[in-house]
Amino acid sequence: MIFNRFAREARRSVEAAQQEARMLGHDSLGDEDLLLGILRADEGIAAEALSSLGVTLEDARAESEAMFSGALASIGISLEEIRREAGDAFDLRIPDKRRIPFAPGAKKVLEQAVATSVRLGDKYLGTEHILLAILENDDGTAVRILARLGVAPEMLNDQLFAARSG
Amino acid sequence: MDEKTRTRVGGPEDPRAGLEAVVALRRMLEALEAAQVENAFVAGWSWSRIAEVLGISRQAVHKKHAARIKSRYPGRPPGRKERSG
């Protein structure tokens, strides 16, 4: 099982990712949820590096939501109008009973995180390995959320390695 | 369709935007269906009547929505006294 190697902080960040996905109404857990999970759990080197670059959970969530309403706006649909029309019953949250599977991209990120941890000769898998793997996924939503927050993958990479050696 | 419109809807030159719009739409549709079924239930509609308008079986509507809605409205019997309209 892939999670055996995971340090407690990394496990917690994945659990937090599940909560974020549920709250935001993502019916599968994507790489952006893994990023939000790291921010939400707020433990480990990755959370530190993100925070040192000014990335907050609230901002990252807001960008994820902005991308969602932007995608709807691109086909002429106003999320706000729908919310108004449908009233209080309109709730994007995924109901508690429904399982939220990992999206293929997120699965790949977690596998990549294991590979990165092994390559770096670490005996554990921490949040920094997950974040490094997220950054390698150029096509992922997480990298684009970070870009919208003014953070390039290289900046975070440097920050992570600095924190590891420091 | 002019150039500007094509860009806006994520035309062939921006497959990502087009695909992302589909994902967003699916997510929105799920939430909207849940909301409108709940609204109908609250208005006193029966599961059969809701199902008929949605064009799916009563069982399908019930399976997908009943537990969630009933937990939000405990004690309310599924629409006996239907209103017209």
d(CA B5, CA B41): 39
| CATH number for the domain formed by residue range(s) A2-165 | 1.10.1780.10
**Domain count of chain B?**
1
Whether residue B9 and residue A74 make contact (CB cut-off 8 A), yes or no, is yes
Asked if A129 and A113 count as a contact pair (C-beta separation under 8 A), the reply is: yes
Query: Residue B8: inside a domain, yes or no?
Result: no
The yes/no answer to whether this complex scores an ipTM above 0.85 is: no
In one letter, which amino acid is A65?
E
d(CA B17, CA A144): 13
Closest by alpha carbon to A133, among A31, A40, A52?
A31
Query: Residue B39: inside a domain, yes or no?
Result: yes
Whether residue A74 and residue B10 make contact (CB cut-off 8 A), yes or no, is yes
- Tell me which residue range forms the domain holding B50: 13-72
In terms of Cβ atoms closer than 10 Å to its own Cβ (0-12, 13-18, 19+), residue A101 is exposed
Q: Consecutive 10-residue runs of chain A (166 residues): their mean pLDDT?
A: 78 97 95 98 94 96 96 94 93 90 96 95 94 94 96 95 84
Whether residue B42 and residue A71 make contact (CB cut-off 8 A), yes or no, is no
Query: Residue B40: inside a domain, yes or no?
Result: yes
* Interface residues on A facing B, Cβ-Cβ cutoff 8 A: 25-27, 67-69, 71-72, 74-77, 79, 82, 86-87, 89-92, 95, 97
pLDDT at position A31 = 97
